[in-house]
């Protein structure tokens, strides 16, 4: 018999109660449902949800196509595709209380509830689960460490796949087996493999580009271990790099290290971004650092919260996020160096150990 994680539910309800006393919350994001209940299914066009209300047992709504265990501390409501979903939900939603919904709830599910007055009012309640998920407990921290250690091991094998005549796609096609060989179950996102000028596109998708002499070789990779994600970027050189490629590599490395040295409880996310960006701007490449410094990560590779100039939230223990400055010269080359950091009670833990010194892959 399964159990809802009562400690996590309590933390979510505490946050909900501070902003919206005497309210209920309908969680529909699949990874948030997993976080609270241990049940995960990618529902596509179908509905799945968990209803949380003060003083009541959680109610898990499950489509019959996705078998679910029984719970000793929650009620499970099973419905099918021909049922009136609004009626199913309204049988459990208190119409006298406000209802929070998350940003992932489809309008086709939400609007009928609003039209039928399922709750006294509606509000966006995503932050209650997002903020709870952002603060990793000790078990989650250990899973993040293990996931990143696997990522280090995979990264160490990638230079062996680089050889004359290879394409980006050929290298990317071999990566899933490397992750599974290290104990990961899947990618946390499709791997990025970029040669030469393709590295100037931060989200380049591997294609038939053939490795050329003097190219940078950029790998942005991540795996999923017991559902927790890793993410890391390293940039290598095939053959002898030119002077500017060497220079921007050194600038990006220094930007990465400057931000990581500041990570600690109480430091603002925007100040981390500023520390890295200043290094790149002072070197004359400010316009070529075209994205935020980092993103939150955990059960998903990109979770709510980021490390950017627009975010003045502070780092708190248990948060995990990326530090990934880059310089991208369109049509020419690009360099990015990315680590994950875990905020501890006193300082920060860098979850990636793979070296950041410039590495040349010899023939």
3-state SS, 305-354, equals: EEECCCCCCECCCCCEEEECCEEEECCCEEEECEEEEEECCCCEEECCCC
The conformational region for residue 62 under phi > 0 = left, psi -120 to 50 = alpha, else beta, is beta
5, 38 contact by CB (below 8 A): yes
301, 164 contact by CB (below 8 A): no
Domain topology for 6-133: Creatine Amidinohydrolase; Chain A, domain 1 (3.40.350)
Residue 25: strand, helix, or coil: strand
pLDDT at 75 > cutoff 80: yes
DSSP 188-214: SSPPEEEEGGGGGSTTPPP-SPBP-TT
Domains 6-133 and 135-361 share a fold: no
Residue-range domain boundaries for the chain: 6-133, 135-361
Return the pLDDT at 62.
Answer: 96
Distance CA 147, CA 189 (A): 13
What is the mean pLDDT of the segment spanning 68-97? Answer: 97
Mean pLDDT, the chain, rounded, equals 97
Predicted confidence (pLDDT) per residue in 321-363, tens digit: 999 999 999 999 999 999 999 999 989 999 999 999 988 887 6
CATH classification code of 135-361: 3.90.230.10
| Count of CA atoms in the C-beta half-sphere (13 A) of 85 | 18
Return the pLDDT at 363.
Answer: 64
What is the mean pLDDT of the segment spanning 164-180? Answer: 98
Return the pLDDT at 359.
Answer: 86
Return the pLDDT at 124.
Answer: 97
Predicted confidence (pLDDT) per residue in 238-266, tens digit: 988 999 999 999 999 999 999 999 999 99
């Amino acid at each position: 018999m399964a159990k809802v994680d009562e400690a996590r539910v309590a933390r979510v309800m505490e946050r909900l109660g501070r902003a919206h006393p005497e309210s209920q919350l309908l969680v529909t994001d699949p990874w948030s449902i997993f976080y609270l209940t241990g049940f995960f299914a990618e529902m596509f066009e179908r509905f799945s949800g968990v209803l949380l209300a003060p003083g009541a047992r959680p109610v898990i709504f499950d489509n019959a196509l996705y078998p679910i265990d029984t719970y000793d501390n929650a009620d499970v409501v099973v419905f099918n595709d021909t049922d009136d979903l609004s009626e199913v939900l309204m049988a459990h939603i208190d119409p006298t209380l406000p209802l929070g919904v998350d940003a992932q709830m489809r309008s086709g599910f939400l609007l009928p509830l609003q039209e039928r007055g399922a709750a006294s009012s509606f509000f966006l309640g995503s932050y209650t689960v997002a903020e709870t998920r952002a603060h990793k407990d000790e078990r989650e921290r250990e899973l993040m460490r293990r996931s990143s250690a696997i990522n280090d091991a995979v990264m160490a094998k990638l230079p062996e796949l680089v050889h004359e005549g290879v394409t980006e796609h050929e290298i990317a096609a071999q990566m899933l087996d490397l992750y599974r060989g290290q104990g990961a179950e899947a990618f946390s996102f499709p791997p990025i493999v970029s040669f030469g000028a393709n590295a100037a596109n931060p989200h380049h998708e591997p294609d038939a580009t053939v490795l050329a002499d003097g190219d940078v070789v950029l790998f942005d990779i991540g795996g999923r271990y017991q559902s927790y994600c890793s993410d890391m970027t390293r940039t290598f050189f095939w053959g002898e790099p030119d002077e500017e490629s060497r220079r921007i590599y050194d600038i990006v490395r220094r930007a990465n290290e400057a931000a990581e040295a500041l990570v600690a409880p109480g430091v603002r996310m925007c100040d981390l971004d500023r520390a890295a960006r200043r290094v790149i701007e002072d070197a004359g490449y400010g316009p070529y650092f075209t994205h935020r410094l980092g993103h939150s990560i955990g059960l998903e590779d990109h979770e709510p919260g980021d490390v950017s100039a627009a975010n003045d939230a502070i780092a708190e223990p248990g948060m995990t996020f990326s530090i990934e400055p880059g310089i991208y010269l369109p049509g020419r080359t690009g360099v990015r160096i990315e680590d994950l950091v875990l905020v501890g009670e006193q300082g920060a833990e860098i979850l990636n150990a793979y070296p950041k010194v410039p590495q040349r892959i010899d023939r």
